[in-house]
Structure 1
């Protein structure tokens, strides 16, 4: 055990020295935890060499804490972790970050914050102190709080007066990060995972009408029905902005970094299934000037898509290279034998039973012998173990391989694919998938997974699963 502790400590110290050398070589300092977040201050930190070192340091630090801390303390901290989500939700929804932004590093006494926001200062102070203990906000003196690098990330960029006078639209025209935080933290359904799992009617069900979220709110139908019901206007609007926030974290041309789209027939047809407004296809249309595109979604969504393409890629609209086609992906696919189908963040909304139906509809539209590529863009859930020779890797697959004695997937440094997976369950009865799971699902649906392409760091855990007809 002593050797493991020393190894973890060495990983941390050598990584910190490497980062220090990079920054000192540039005449810069690593971003301070007590300074607000800015894109400029994070630029060097996000370069590959520094980012890789940061991930390894954090993985070793998490494992060192888990090793040396009393096990009971770790379990109780994990048990009560929901308070972190709950208190962060309060700070985001009540606009505390924006109030503190206006006063700068000196901070503001909780009594003044309470008067400004019409909140009980005693309760608010307890919330902010809990967050500051987790390095979100800082308590600069007793009962005086200020923003820091972490809390400033959820700044909506609007004046406090605007936020207070128009609460329903507080997230409009923002980067979507605050909306995403509010959306994630409103997952009261997470508190019903046990009840859902142990109830025979729901624990083995694939139905999108039987989810922990709907159980939590006593709602029927699907989550989409619930979102669109009376009284949920704020949640529904926030969800839309939150999804914009997810897209904003991905480079517009992310879809070009992976599968070589130029290997398709020059004047072929790409069908973007469940495309939304077709953001990814716009990037492809600009890169493939002779390719035709079919944007498929619900009629109301396509109304927005037409406007989006008119503004972002008018040459494709004027050249009649893009068609907007109302379509339910559970119905027979109307486009036969295209060059490629795209399914971006669609499959993860559905349990295997429903995902297989979607994929089979696409396979039915392709004649045997026709060369058609299926590109699924979703999160890849890494295994938490070292695979060894337990399975044959898919071409391009990069199994988790952090150096020993770290967890191969770097532990909780970035748990986003795992909590996204659980959130798909809570909301939709859907899921993110491991590479082995995706391979089996595609095979059952008439497709062969032929390659995996990993996105850039800025694309999060989204990968391209490329398949061909069996």
Structure 2
């Protein structure tokens, strides 16, 4: 895959490309008797995935890339940059207000509701609602089917159908957005620091010196509310089944079936959504989700009763030596990209030298994480997810998204006995699954 030079991008060629890719998607969905994308509230939530849909996903990535470029050319350079700086922040703050005040759920899933009646259900006035909705509707989030009434589109229905999108919005727009606006301030203050507490997040939220993201999550709130941010974060992570982060890619990226009856430790596994997915697909596996004690409530609420015999929770801080000794695989999904190299090395060393001695020969570490691609080697929408994650990690933890050579060097720093035997990126995934074998 190569990147088109800017001089080769023009309105006519983009329009032709969009037309061809839209027809490919439409034809495949019709052939498979699947619903077409629509802004109607009853429309499908996402496109079908899997290897059999590779051609559809390729057309979809091409379509998105062309549509973004078409928007830029249609706006013109001056207006595009002007509008981005002026409007984009309000696109996000409106979503944040809707999630925080329960607006998505308050609008009926069928039919419509008047602004007056909606205001009676919410801690917002009619005037405030009208102002929020008026801007959101310019992006097809909600619409007015008749004067003074509002109804759902497929976009506004998404947080209703997938409840974890609410916490996802609250985390990213309520917690990270204020911090991202202070990234330049952090660069000016700390330079190219690798310390996880010298970050934009600390400036934005005036965190106590020496305290970082996870201290804040763990200790924020009083009484029964203490740790509410950690619980919200765990719920937000459940939403990462989409946008290139589908849980199916963890299953596709490693041969889990070859393990037979085996124990898998999901290190930093949050509320267990990845382990649940693996348990459903591979009935011989037993999975242990390890995370901080504050997350156990979210885990208990998520794991189905029929899987509780095979998916369990263990309170454990991965900054301490690993207590499990019989695991065949230690899974770390979106864990190591949270930390600069020095701390990532310690997390991995804690797996190798656990409470009960050195890791067994042949034990595997499976890392599902971003690998920063070379420019032009992946579709632009997937590349944007990786660069977004890189900036997010920089903003909150001074961490980063690593290139392939960075990952290899990281494992070498940890222990010469770690052998990264495979880097596999499933079709459509923004994550790469890295298989590492411990060889004594």
TM-score, normalised on structure 2?
A: 0.78
Pick aligned residue for 1:346 from 323, 335, 342: 335
**Partner SS state of residue 450, structure 1:** strand
Corresponding residue SS for 1:53:
helix
Does 1:375 pair with 2:366?
yes
Which string of whole-angstrom CA distances, capped at 9 and with x for unpartnered residues, describes residues 75-109 of structure 1? 112213111110111122233333432562xx445
Kept in 2, the 8 Å contact 1:109–1:144? The answer is: yes
Query: Aligned-pair distance for 1:197?
Result: 1.3
Structure 1 residue 239, shift from structure 2 partner: 2.7
Structure 2 equivalent of residue 430 of structure 1: 399
Q: What is the deviation of 1:194?
A: 0.8
Residue 199 of structure 1: aligned partner: 189
Q: Is the 8 A contact 1:443 1:449 kept in 2?
A: no
d(CA) in 1 for partners of 2:281, 2:27:
39
Question: Which one is further off, 15-24 or 56-65?
Answer: 15-24
SS in 2 for 1:101: coil
Q: Label 1:261 to 1:76 Cα distance change in 2 as closer, same or farther (>3 A).
A: same
Q: Which whole-Å CA distance do the structure 1 matches of 2:408 and 2:212 have between them?
A: 28
* RMSD over aligned Cα atoms: 3.9
Match of 2:239 in 1: 245
Paired residues for 1:119-268 under 5 Å: 119-140=124-145, 144-155=149-160, 175-186=163-174, 187=176, 188-200=178-190, 203-220=191-208, 221-227=211-217, 228-230=219-221, 235-246=229-240, 255-263=250-258
**Equivalent residues, number:** 417
Corresponding residue of 1:70: 76
Quick one: structure 1 residues 434 and 128, their matched pair in 2 at CA, closer, same or farther if it must change by over 3 Å? farther
Deviates more, 1:4-13 or 1:185-194: 4-13
Matched with 2:384 is 415
Unaligned 5+ segments in structure 2 are: 1-6
Shift of 1:193: 0.7
Shift of 1:68: 4.2
Tell me the CA shift for residue 143 of structure 1: 5.2
Following the alignment from structure 1 to structure 2, what is the Cα–Cα distance between the partners of residues 189 and 98? 27
Q: Deviations over 1:221-266 (max 9, x none)?
A: 22233233226655444333222333699777654322224555x6
Match of 2:90 in 1: 83
Superposition deviation, residue 36 in structure 1: 0.6
Q: Does 1:50 align with 2:41?
A: no
Q: Contact conserved, 2:353 with 2:359, CA < 8 A, in 1?
A: no
Contact kept, 8 Å, 2:25 with 2:56, in 1: the verdict is yes
- Between the aligned partners of 1:137 and 1:287, the Cα distance in structure 2 is 36
Residues 363 and 445 in structure 1, CA contact (< 8 A), matched pair in contact too: no
* Cα distance in structure 1, aligned partners of 2:348 and 2:93: 38
8 A contact 2:196–2:339 mirrored in 1:
yes
TM-score by length of 1: 0.74
Compared with structure 1, are the counterparts of its residues 138 and 284 closer, same or farther at alpha carbon in structure 2 (3 Å cutoff)? closer
1:16 aligns with 2:22: yes
Question: How far, CA to CA, are the matches of 1:178 and 1:134 in structure 2?
Answer: 18
Could you tell me how far 1:272 is from its partner in structure 2? 3.8
Larger Rg: 1
- Give the 3-state SS of the residue equivalent to 1:119 in structure 2: coil
The within-5 A match list for 1:96-111 is: 96-101=103-108, 104=111, 107-111=112-116
**Alignment partners' CA distance in 1, 2:26 and 2:315:** 54
CA 432–414 in structure 1, closer or farther in 2 if over 3 Å, else same: closer
> Which of these residues, 56, 59, 62, is aligned with residue 65 of structure 2?
59
Tell me the SS of whatever aligns to 1:137: coil
Distance in structure 2 (CA, Å) of the matches to 1:308 and 1:97? 22
SS in 1 for 2:369: strand
Deviation at residue 4 of structure 1 after TM alignment: 4.0
Distance 1:286 1:133, change over 3 A: closer
Alignment gaps of 5+ in structure 1: 158-173, 387-398, 401-408
Does the C-alpha gap of structure 1 residues 148 and 278 become closer, same or farther in structure 2, counting only changes over 3 Å?
closer
Note the C-alpha offset of 1:175. 2.8
